[in-house]
Amino acid sequence: MAELSTTSGRYIKGVTLGEGTYGVVFKALDTLTNRTVAVKKIRLGKYKEGVHVTALREIKLLKELHDPNIIELIDVYPHKRNLNLVFEFMESDLEAVIKDRNIVLSSADIKSYMQMTLKGLAQCHKKWVLHRDLKPNNLLIATDGQLKLADFGLARILGSPDRNFTHQVFARWYRAPELLFGSKQYGAGVDIWAAGCIFAELMLRRPFLQGSSDIDQLGKIFAAFGTPRESQWPDMTSLPDYVEYQYCPAPPLRSLFPMASEDALDILLRMLTFDPKSRITAQQALEHRYFLIEPAPTRPVLLPRPPTRPEGKSKPAEVASPAAPIVLSPPNKARRVTLFPGGAGGDVHSSGRVDTGYPFPSRDASGGTVPGETPSDHGEIPMSVDMRTTAGQAIPPRPTLNSTDRSYLKRKLDMDLAVSHYQEEQQI
Ligand SMILES: Nc1ncnc2c1ncn2[C@@H]1O[C@H](COP(=O)(O)OP(=O)(O)OP(=O)(O)O)[C@@H](O)[C@H]1O
């Protein structure tokens, strides 16, 4: 095992690439190998007692996870009050691919991205390492098109990121139902659930289940797959934060993904199975018929990719765009929650608006939401209206601002202010 470096002299610092949950990321030159690298500077001050020595040991263990679909952790060294993690430099990430309106993803391209994600997951799970915070911006893309899982194990080693932190607002959308119900004894299934959400997002070109609170996230999941019966998920009712939801039947999955093949729907359903014990594993998913039949996954080097990262451009501005869902006040988990249809009860958005994952509500001639209207105006389940709006279609154009949009932007601004106050308090 390679030893931790004791000096930062090996690296020549370049531009800032961005800032994430754990700290700032810089581009740098590794003078030992002449390679371009990315240095993630983790602020130890943020962790009151610093990073425990066991955590350092575990970070070193991550260096042993050698796989073409896992980002290489090249080096780890302390510097002043920071811990610096040195990774191979990556050109882009899956979030940028999904959001790029100039990129058309064929089913072979989607299959390729999914195959690489699952290969990386299978390797980590084999070594008993969980990611726990998988999302499209943690799936980085190298110059040769290889997708690599990043930030593996950090959530566990450095502690759960604060969900109120701006960067973490999106992460809820990929959380497995057992985590949302407060399970402490979760396993590899949490990563498979997240991978299933990413698969759905690749097909829809927008985040699949966009909850605005943990309660709302579960509501979105149940609206898409039906409220689980105890027979479907026997352990559910004994989970720490379990609350009962009004029964809601599942709409046909086909109606949410009209363009998907039967095999794509089948593997998706197996990844998004409620009971983690029955959820497919990464290895089983790789052996699923979906990957064995035509079309074959696109060779990574041929995959469509967005232009390379602009030098010195950090991501936070994008993260803080109006696309961020509003985090509402904590729900009272003790009370019985009633949910849609018709938007009755539950912790849905105070305005009744359903986030599209894009800056503004989508306009759609086929009965989807338009600005100023809520899905419940149509008397339908918000999720299915939302999904049908853009499923398999081009991303809708941005409509002009109306009063709904203005009130949304105001709430967004309020949230940004709250977050910046929080950061000031924490001296982040
Ligand atoms: N290995 C890398 N190569 C190139 N850029 C990177 C690398 N790792 C991170 N970045 C970039 O640095 C920025 C911050 O990354 P970081 O992983 O800290 O947070 P994030 O992925 O933006 O958000 P989160 O903390 O929620 O995962 C992002 O723009 C990210 O794409």
What would the pLDDT profile of 390-410 be if each residue is shown by its tens digit? 333 323 223 233 444 344 444
Contact between residue 253 and residue 383 where contact means Cβ atoms under 8 Å apart? no
Closest approach atom of ligand 1 to CA 133: 27
Residue 423 domain-assigned?
A: no
Q: E strands along 46-144, which residues?
A: 73-79, 82-88, 92-93, 139-141
Averaged confidence pLDDT in the chain: 73
Q: Which residue has the tokens 């020595």?
A: 53
Confidence of residue 245 (pLDDT cuts 50, 70, 90): very high
Ligand 1 binding pocket (C-beta < 6 A) is: 17-22, 25, 38, 40, 71, 87, 89-90, 93, 137-138, 140, 150-151, 167-168, 315
In this structure, the answer to whether residues 103 and 13 fall within a common structural domain is no
In this structure, the answer to whether residues 347 and 246 fall within a common structural domain is yes
User: Using CA positions, which residue lies closest to atom 23 of ligand 1?
Assistant: 20
User: Using CA positions, which residue lies closest to atom 1 of ligand 1?
Assistant: 89
Q: What is the pLDDT of residues 137-148, one digit of tens each?
A: 999 999 999 999
Confidence of residue 287 (pLDDT cuts 50, 70, 90): very high
Residues tagged active-site: 133
Q: What is the pLDDT of residues 43-69, one digit of tens each?
A: 765 554 555 566 666 677 777 788 999
In this structure, the answer to whether residues 101 and 172 fall within a common structural domain is yes
d(Cα 266, Cα 289) in Å, to the nearest integer?
Answer: 9
Domains of the chain: total: 2
In this structure, the answer to whether residues 267 and 118 fall within a common structural domain is yes
Distances in Å between the Cα of 16 and the Cα atoms of 89, 108, 297, 411, 421 are 13, 34, 34, 30, 23
Could you tell me the pTM of the whole model? 0.73
Q: Tell whether omega for the bond before 295 is within 30 degrees of 0, i.e. cis.
A: yes
At 342, which CATH number? 1.10.510.10
d(Cα 122, Cα 254) in Å, to the nearest integer?
Answer: 28
In this structure, the answer to whether residues 323 and 393 fall within a common structural domain is yes
Q: What is the pLDDT of residues 177-188, one digit of tens each?
A: 999 999 988 899
Average pLDDT over residues 329-346: 32
**CA-based end-to-end distance of the chain:** 33
Q: What is the pLDDT of residues 94-119, one digit of tens each?
A: 999 999 999 999 999 999 999 999 99
Give the Å distance between the CA of 20 and the centre of ligand 1.
Answer: 6
Distances in Å between the Cα of 232 and the Cα atoms of 171, 208, 228, 318 are 26, 22, 6, 39
Closest approach atom of ligand 1 to CA 90: 3
Q: Which of 85, 132, 315 to mutate to test the pocket of ligand 1 (most atoms within 8 A of CB)?
A: 315
At 58, which CATH number? 3.30.200.20
Output the six-digit token pair for 318.
Answer: 């994008």
Residue 416 domain-assigned?
A: no
Residue 417 domain-assigned?
A: no
In this structure, the answer to whether residues 128 and 265 fall within a common structural domain is yes
Tell me which residue range forms the domain holding 289: 92-411
Residue 212 domain-assigned?
A: yes
User: Using CA positions, which residue lies closest to atom 28 of ligand 1?
Assistant: 18
Give the Å distance between the CA of 18 and the centre of ligand 1.
Answer: 6
User: Using CA positions, which residue lies closest to atom 20 of ligand 1?
Assistant: 20
Distances in Å between the Cα of 147 and the Cα atoms of 11, 37, 333 are 25, 16, 38
Q: Is 330 helix (H, G, I), strand (E, B) or coil?
A: coil
Residue 117 domain-assigned?
A: yes
What Rg value do the Cα atoms of the chain yield, rounded? 21
Contact between residue 267 and residue 288 where contact means Cβ atoms under 8 Å apart? yes
Confidence of residue 131 (pLDDT cuts 50, 70, 90): confident
Q: Which residue has the tokens 């943990």?
A: 214
Q: Is the ipTM of this complex over 0.90?
A: yes
Residue 336 domain-assigned?
A: yes
Residue 361 domain-assigned?
A: yes
Give the Å distance between the CA of 317 and the centre of ligand 1.
Answer: 13
